[in-house]
Amino acid sequence: MEVISLVLTVFGLAISGAAYLKADDAKKAVRNALRKRNADEDLQRLRDLIVVMEAAKEAVVPWVSGMPQDRRTGRDQQDDLAQLSETIDALRTKSPLDLEAALQRRIKKSATILDKEFKEIITPSDNNDHWKAALSEIQLMIPKLEQLERSMRDDQISA
């Protein structure tokens, strides 16, 4: 009787061990799936942010002093200001969630700079070309965001 009990105990332990390994594999699979989904979502957020930044660039360019008047034909400055405001909001709220701290700080800094320029455009306090300053910041950020997008995409491909 003791031999049967011992065999059943060993068999039960073997089944428990196998179940533990399967559960551990399932947890790893879920973790990997969540990591992949979060990476996909961050990449989409980054792509959307780049699109918004490109739209802001198109909205700001016609208003930079020295641009030919025909670049403004059919443009409504209030619509272009709204686009700039949307860009500031997107930089603050719609950037990828899983970024290095330095990149997060740079994106937030860009939003702060654009917000300052936006306020100066609305109520100018000096003779500086704040449209040009906003355009400079946008043109500085777009390549950084595109480089980050390539890096994230490459990471997904290699994973």
Over residues 57-115, the pLDDT tens digits come to: 999 999 998 888 888 888 999 999 999 999 999 999 999 988 899 999 999 999 999 99
d(CA 5, CA 3): 5
Which residue, 80, 53, 40, is CA-closest to 144?
53
User: pTM higher than 0.85 for the full model?
Assistant: no
- Say what the pLDDT of residue 93 is: 95
Q: What tokens does 109 get?
A: 């800094």
- Say what the pLDDT of residue 12 is: 79
Mutual angle of helices 130-158 and 77-93, in 10-degree steps: 40
Which residue, 4, 109, 87, 95, is CA-closest to 43?
95
Chain centroid to Cα 31, Å, comes to 21
Task: Look at residue 21 and tell me whether its pLDDT is greater than 80.
Answer: no
Q: What tokens does 101 get?
A: 């701290």
d(CA 25, CA 157): 23
Q: How confident is the model at residue 15 (pLDDT cuts 50, 70, 90)?
A: confident
Q: Which residues contact 148 (CB under 8 A, 6 or more apart)?
A: 46, 96, 99, 103
d(CA 57, CA 63): 11
Task: Look at residue 6 and tell me whether its pLDDT is greater than 90.
Answer: no
- Say what the pLDDT of residue 19 is: 77
Name which of 24-33, 58-67, 117-126 the model is least confident about: 24-33
